[in-house]
Amino acid sequence: MSDKMHIKLTVNGAPREVLAEPRELLIHVLRERLGLTGPHIGCETTHCGVCTVDMNGKSVKSCTVFAAQADGAEITTIEGLGTPDDLHVLQRMFHEHHGLQCGFCTPGMITRAHRLLQENPDPTEEEVRFGMAGNLCRCTGYQNIVRAILAAAAELNAAREAAQ
Amino acid sequence: MIPSAFEYHRPPSVAEAIRIVSERGDDARVIAGGHSLIPMMKLRMAHLEHLVDLQDVAELRELSIADGIVRIGAMVTQHELITHEGLAQAVPIVREAALLIADPQVRYMGTIGGNLANGDPGNDMPGLMQCLDARFGLEGPEGSREVAARDFYEAAYMTDRADEEILTRITFAASTGGYAYEKQKRKIGDYATAAAAVLINAQDGRVSRASVAMTNLSDVPVWSEAAADALIGTACDAAACDAAVAAMSAEIDPQEDSRGPIEFKRHVAGTILRRAIARAWARA
Amino acid sequence: MNDMTPEGREERRGKLKGLGHARRRVEDARFTQGKGNYIDDINLSGMLFGDFVRSPHAHARITSIDASAALELPGVVAVLTADDLRPLDLHWMPTLAGDKQMVLADGKVLFQGQEVAFVVARDRYVAADAVDLVEIEYEELPVITDPFESLQSDVVLREDLDPEAPGSHGPRRHHNHIFLWEEGDKAATEQAIESSEVVAEEMIYYHRTHPCPLETCGSVASMDKVNGKLTLWGTFQAPHVVRTVASILSGIEEHNIRVISPDIGGGFGNKVGVYPGYVCSIVASIVTGSPVKWVEDRMENLMSTAFARDYWMKGRISATKDGRITGLHCHVTADHGAFDACADPTKFPAGFFHICTGSYDIPVAYVAVDGAYTNKAPGGVAYRCSFRVTEAAYMIERMIEVLAIELGMDAAELRARNFIREDQFPYQSALGWEYDSGDYHTAWNKALEAVNYEGLRREQAERVEAFNRGETRKLLGIGLTHFTEIVGAGPMKNCDILGMGMFDSCEIRIHPTGSAIVRLGTISQGQGHATTFAQILASEIGISSDSITVEEGDTDTAPYGLGTYGSRSTPVAGAAAAMAGRKIRAKAQMIAAYLLEVHEDDLEWDVDRFAVKGAPERFKTMAEIAFASYNQAIPGVEPGLEAVSYYDPPNMTYPFGAYICVMEIDVDTGEHEIRQFYALDDCGTRINPMVIEGQVHGGLTEALAIAMGQEIAYDDLGNIKTATLMDFFMPTSWETPTYTTAFTETPSPHHPIGAKGVGESPNVGGVPAFSNAVHDAFRPFGLRHSHMPHDHWRIWKVAHELGLHG
């Protein structure tokens, strides 16, 4: 065990501070110290993506980031994407298009899809499949996940056009 | 999967990082994106006492292209290599290769420096940099030096870099002409079964210059001068490709693993190389 | 519009969102907002964390265990070994298959990754550090990873077993033999095959793989010593059985144990078994007095909890020259690993493998299965299939292809020629099953037409010519499969697990204002029970599915049931739901009769109400009836409106389907591309088409993984080679094709609503469809059979051996 570090994060827009060993993984800080159990732990070797969160504007696998590395970072988790009264369009579309079953991959999927649409607001199906390839799902075969993300993009684009 | 404990350092400069590494010796490791090292630490196959995180070293994040020379700081991520329009114009093979590395999340974190310095035979950038004849800038307690990518790799995870040195920047010339990066892998996120980087310049329907390198077919990347020579001066016809493949085949030394037996890898290496040559020639 | 008109009735029916409605799922709200409650999300005050020290060797004697350094580490509370469990008689535990299994290594280890010691510490970081400090000395023993070698070897794997004594499934002929199980008429089958004009024989290996849900297995045990109550949360596909087993093992009376399955992040059979981690978390909680969590990591999951398949199937199939099948003979050598921990109904050590006559009218058949111990992980679970049904379907669908080659006949035509005809149902199979219903020819013709089968065959022939001319290096394969499943275990007369009959249950409580809570003995792992069971009931009791809460997984509140696996939820618990609903309706009818002052027989059920026959304007809705049941004293009728049903199914159900996969194969790299996949499923009555489609997509993708690369592989020393997701193949969105789904609907005659179950069909049918596509591509070049998984190098090897590399 090594000395604990004072780690400051901005999580879902709010400043948070934790005392943690440097080796502590970001996913454990989020889940066990901050009570944000939306992101999950799946493979622990960066292959499955269920731990995906947004860190400084990038999708990262939080099982492979040390708490110490994240010191000073801005983090968004699934819990920061929508509220029960005002769901994020991706949350609505995953529901509408049956883009989830057991739900275990869903927080990582939606968080990743959110970043993908920030970078590519009007993706093709192929671009969605390539852009989501860091997130595994065992239940859906991805077909409805892809459909949900394309539908979310269409809705966001329609809203953007209407606003112009 | 829980790593053993370590002390964490986040120096603001290369000089400070070198100072920490020099003081701590074998007990210290530099971390860039960490997506190779951290899984090894979690599997407890890598143990270290001091982790030196380079994320605050701004000078390592620079990417510039001037006078036909590309300079890339070691902490530039694969994602940045992909999204940098100037780089895509100057050396399009880099984007083509980077897109085939790991998956989106890993590319946000994974850096070119980490990919090069680690010495993992499965990494794509070492072969690509040999193909581009890149030079690596190393800084250590004794000062800085440059080494050619083609001279850098000694064996799996063994490079010319001394323990207390840090690979800080990569320099190579912009490449005009035909290019292709071909990679066979089992799935997104896998290392290459075989990968080939090929650059070809054409003049009057003949290959005027060529560079050929392959990845994960030996314990080091394989840049084959003989394979390139087999193409130069030819119309890149079947006989020339056969000769290039034969030359490369003499230099690779694939090992059996879960991707397949040696005979298969040798065959795939030839196929992938042929495809890379054909595509590069078509673009030349 | 009058709501008694046909239009009005349809509008009322629509509002119920009952059977057939693509109802959006009620589960989604919490999952899309990160508010699911999975095992690792459970965090109790003072909770400790348990972690295993595991064996690096596949077969070794343990000469010493020294935990002193680990115990000195601050934060470590206990280190348990077999010696600590022995006084409680918990160092071994019974398996679901009638064998026993070490909880912690007792003197020796039998597979790599076996649990040797259990470290209990303040948190998972300290526990992981302590695991490294436990010093264990081993003396290595010869390793056997091959079941054929095992059955010949002098090396005794299971020294705890008397080599002379029979096992729980009869005599053992060798010290590494577990059982011989036979079904069918051996002599008649051999005679039929020997006298046939054409015989095809092939060894078909269905390799070892793993269900690998994204959430690994885990548990949290909390022993309340004040009240003597144990609460156990865990990744349990059968929570009630776990409670019974926990009671038997621990001696704690069953009413003092509460087992809760929280949200489960995928099961696929992985979470049916009882694992040492569960037992150790319980013991550790009893020993320490604190709650103890155990959650395995991915490597532990892949190396120790529940492999699937590993069947060597030697098939012989015979036919007349014009392609009428005359007999089927199959001998299986089954690798069960170190302990026989298969999750099968007790009387079926090879599960329902004898569904292996498939969709075909085969007059005589015989199967024999020899189980063998090896130095590999125990398990043998039904990975997204009913018990050994995917092995059976793979065997027959490969044998059909091999027979077609032998006959020189088109494989689609051979199938059609041998299908059980619609007029033959209910059909008695040669191996003893009664197929309840089916219409295979209709499904088959629909599928062939949808993909333009003849056109594909023409294209394939052209491709072969182009290949031979050197114009392409890609081959085209057309993978056909017509599968018949057997699910819904099962009738208590022959199906039990640890003595518990495989019924299931449903309890309904209608609230005074006309909404309801429903509890079942099953547990969803993503299937969407809270959505679909409510739909069954909506149609039965006339209350909108939106007003029905469905609860499962808490043994203190839910009725006893055998859980969710083997596609049994809809066939068994779904039937229980319908039957309980009918009890509600029967009582409601009595109440309505009283309220309307008519005789019960003068009432008819009309979507959501009882109306007087011939006077539909006189009616009482279910909501009105529910209210009356609580506030009116009705002579001869108890207050309240509740019902419970324990449903013992009279038969299994037999879903079927026709799948066609069109695949491009690169002969030089062994890479493949799936150009088209058409999946027609007949699961009887369709409860929720959206959920069915989702199940099919997911099952096909698991089948894709298994057929094209996913395996649990060992080297000769028993070291597992595929213990991370780098090497254990799980396709991403990039490697996964887009599927086309279709259906026919042949209701089950014995199920209350005619439903058959669908969750596992796509895996059962998908694996042979993908595999047959690979084989079909090479058929013109002389390939008969090659073993899965069809990863790049194995496909390349096929091409190489056929001389396609020049």
The arithmetic mean of pLDDT across residues C49-58, rounded, is: 98
Conformation bin of residue C331: beta by default, left when phi > 0, alpha when psi is -120 to 50: beta
Partner chains of A (3+ C-beta pairs under 8 Å): B, C
Q: Which two tokens stand for residue A70?
A: 């994240």
Checking if the pLDDT of C1 tops 50, the result is: no
Q: Does domain C6-36+504-647 have CATH number 3.30.365.10?
A: yes
The arithmetic mean of pLDDT across residues C416-433, rounded, is: 98
Choose the mutation target among B99, B264, B272 for the interface with C, i.e. most C CBs under 10 Å.
B264
ipTM: 0.98
List the single residue in B with minimal CA-CA distance to C297. Answer: B1
Picking from C29, C264, C701, the nearest residue to A141 by CB comes out as C701
pLDDT digits 0-9 by tens, C668-682: 999 999 999 999 999
Rounded to whole angstroms, the Cα distance separating C433 from C352 reads 10
Length reported for chain A: 164
CATH 3.30.365.10 intervals, chain C:
6-36+504-647, 307-407+418-489+652-801
Give me Rg for the CA atoms of chain A: 16
Position C295 scores a pLDDT of 98
Closest CA to C358 of C486, C190, C258: C486
pLDDT digits 0-9 by tens, C389-406: 999 999 999 999 999 999
With a cut of 70, which residues of chain B have pLDDT below it? none
Catalytic one of C212, C385, C506, C683 = C385
Position C498 scores a pLDDT of 86
Beta-ladder partners of B172: B70
Length reported for chain B: 284
Rounded to whole angstroms, the Cα distance separating C410 from C418 reads 13
Cis peptide before C276 (omega within 30 of 0): no
- State in words which class domain C307-407+418-489+652-801 has: alpha beta
Q: Which two tokens stand for residue A129?
A: 């499949």
Q: Which two tokens stand for residue C148?
A: 């054929």
The arithmetic mean of pLDDT across residues C298-326, rounded, is: 97
Known catalytic membership, residue C385: yes
Q: Which domains does chain B have, with CATH numbers?
A: 7-53 (3.30.43.10), 60-171 (3.30.465.10), 190-283 (3.30.390.50)
Q: Does domain A5-80 have CATH number 3.10.20.30?
A: yes
Number of Cβ within 10 Å of residue C137's Cβ equals 11
- Cβ burial of C511 (10 Å; 0-12, 13-18, 19+) is middle
Tell me how many degrees the CA angle C185-C188-C189 measures, rounded to the nearest 5. 80
Position A1 scores a pLDDT of 58
Position C719 scores a pLDDT of 98
> Under a CB-based contact definition with an 8 Å cutoff, are residues C272 and C245 in contact?
no
Tell me how many degrees the CA angle C308-C312-C313 measures, rounded to the nearest 5. 115
Picking from B2, B79, B105, the nearest residue to A61 by CB comes out as B105
**Which residue shows structure tokens 């470590």?**
C76
Number of Cβ within 10 Å of residue C154's Cβ equals 7
Tell me how many degrees the CA angle C195-C197-C198 measures, rounded to the nearest 5. 115
Q: How is domain C39-141+216-264+271-304 classified at the CATH fold level?
A: Aldehyde Oxidoreductase; domain 3 (3.90.1170)
Rounded to whole angstroms, the Cα distance separating C198 from C122 reads 68
Phi and psi at residue B196, to the nearest 5°: -135, 135
Known catalytic membership, residue C7: no
Looking at chain C, the whole-number percentage of residues with pLDDT higher than 70 is: 100
> Under a CB-based contact definition with an 8 Å cutoff, are residues B214 and B273 in contact?
yes
* Sheet with B143-148: strands ordered across: B63-66, B69-73, B166-173, B135-140, B143-148
CA distance A3 to chain B (A): 8
> Under a CB-based contact definition with an 8 Å cutoff, are residues B7 and B50 in contact?
yes
Mean pLDDT of chain C, nearest integer? 96
**Which chain B positions have a beta carbon within 8 Å of A60's beta carbon?**
105, 108-109
Picking from C27, C41, C298, the nearest residue to A43 by CB comes out as C298
Q: Which two tokens stand for residue C216?
A: 């690994």
Partner chains of B (3+ C-beta pairs under 8 Å): A, C
- Residue burial C438-472, b: 16+ Cβ < 10 Å; e: rest: bbbeebbeebbeebebeebeeebeebbeebeeeeb
**Which chain A positions have a beta carbon within 8 Å of B42's beta carbon?**
44-45, 64
Closest CA to C593 of C623, C631, C635: C635
CA distance B253 to chain C (A): 17
Tell me how many degrees the CA angle C660-C665-C669 measures, rounded to the nearest 5. 150
Asked if the Cβ–Cβ distance from A58 to B109 is below 8 Å, we say yes
- DSSP labels, C397-419: HHHHHHHHHHHT--HHHHHHHHB
- Which strand (E) or helix (H) includes residue C138? strand C135-140
Choose the mutation target among B6, B105, B107, B186 for the interface with A, i.e. most A CBs under 10 Å.
B105
- For residue B77, give every residue at least 6 positions away whose Cβ sits within 8 Å of its Cβ, in sequence order, or none: B33, B107, B108, B109, B110, B111, B112
- DSSP labels, chain B: --PPP-EEE--SSHHHHHHHHHHHGGGEEEESS-TTHHHHHHTTSS--SEEEE-TT-GGGG-EEEETTEEEEETT-BHHHHHH-HHHHHH-HHHHHHHTTSS-HHHHHH-BHHHHHHS--TT-SHHHHHHHTT-EEEEEETTEEEEEEHHHHEEETTEES--TT-EEEEEEEE---SEEEEEEE-SSTTPPPSEEEEEEEEEETTEEEEEEEEEESSSSS-EE-HHHHHHHTTS---HHHHHHHHHHHHHH-----BTTB-HHHHHHHHHHHHHHHHHHHHHH-
Verdict on whether the full-model pTM lies above 0.90: yes
Closest CA to C743 of C447, C532, C449: C447
> Under a CB-based contact definition with an 8 Å cutoff, are residues B209 and B200 in contact?
yes
The arithmetic mean of pLDDT across residues C712-717, rounded, is: 97
Known catalytic membership, residue C673: no
Number of Cβ within 10 Å of residue C358's Cβ equals 27
Give C 652-711 residues with CB within 8 A of chain A: 690-691, 693-702
pLDDT digits 0-9 by tens, C637-657: 999 999 999 999 999 999 999
pLDDT digits 0-9 by tens, C350-396: 999 999 999 999 999 999 999 999 999 999 999 999 899 999 999 99
Rounded to whole angstroms, the Cα distance separating C363 from C424 reads 13
Helix axis angle, C689-708 relative to C761-778, nearest 10°?
40
Q: Where are the domains of chain A?
A: 5-80, 89-163
Picking from A21, A107, A140, the nearest residue to C125 by CB comes out as A21
Beta-ladder partners of C167: C170
pLDDT digits 0-9 by tens, A51-65: 999 999 999 999 999
> Under a CB-based contact definition with an 8 Å cutoff, are residues A82 and A113 in contact?
no
> Under a CB-based contact definition with an 8 Å cutoff, are residues C73 and C477 in contact?
no
Tell me how many degrees the CA angle A157-A158-A162 measures, rounded to the nearest 5. 115
Rounded to whole angstroms, the Cα distance separating C388 from C383 reads 9
**Which residue shows structure tokens 């005794």?**
C156
Q: Is the dihedral of CA C686, C699, A43, C53 positive or negative?
A: positive
Phi and psi at residue C392, to the nearest 5°: -65, -45
Contacts 24+ apart (CB under 8 A), B126-129: B126/B152, B126/B153, B126/B215, B126/B220, B126/B221, B127/B195, B127/B196, B127/B197, B127/B213, B127/B214, B127/B215, B127/B221, B127/B222, B127/B223, B128/B93, B128/B94, B128/B97, B128/B181, B128/B197, B128/B213, B128/B215, B129/B170, B129/B172
Largest Cα separation within chain C, whole Å, is 90
The arithmetic mean of pLDDT across residues C293-322, rounded, is: 97
The secondary structure of residue A120, as a DSSP letter, is -
List the single residue in B with minimal CA-CA distance to A48. Answer: B189
Checking if the pLDDT of C407 tops 70, the result is: yes
End-to-end CA distance of chain B: 48
The arithmetic mean of pLDDT across residues C290-296, rounded, is: 98
List the single residue in A with minimal CA-CA distance to C25. Answer: A95
Checking if the pLDDT of C488 tops 50, the result is: yes
* Sheet with C48-54: strands ordered across: C76-80, C115-121, C48-54, C292-295, C218-224, C229-234, C257-260
Known catalytic membership, residue C760: yes
Rounded to whole angstroms, the Cα distance separating C392 from C401 reads 14
**Which chain B positions have a beta carbon within 8 Å of A112's beta carbon?**
104-105
Choose the mutation target among B6, B7, B8 for the interface with A, i.e. most A CBs under 10 Å.
B8
For residue C745, give Cα distances in angstroms to C217, C531, C656, C683, C687: 36, 21, 10, 7, 11
Checking if the pLDDT of C527 tops 60, the result is: yes
Instruction: Flag whether residue A93 sits within 8 Å of chain B, measured between CB atoms.
Output: no
CATH architecture type of domain A89-163: Orthogonal Bundle (1.10)
Closest CA to C750 of C428, C385, C435: C435
Asked if the Cβ–Cβ distance from B1 to C297 is below 8 Å, we say yes
Residue C419: what residue type? F
Rounded to whole angstroms, the Cα distance separating A77 from A112 reads 10
Position A143 scores a pLDDT of 98
The arithmetic mean of pLDDT across residues C607-628, rounded, is: 97
DSSP E strand stretches across C320-406:
325-335, 365-372, 379-381
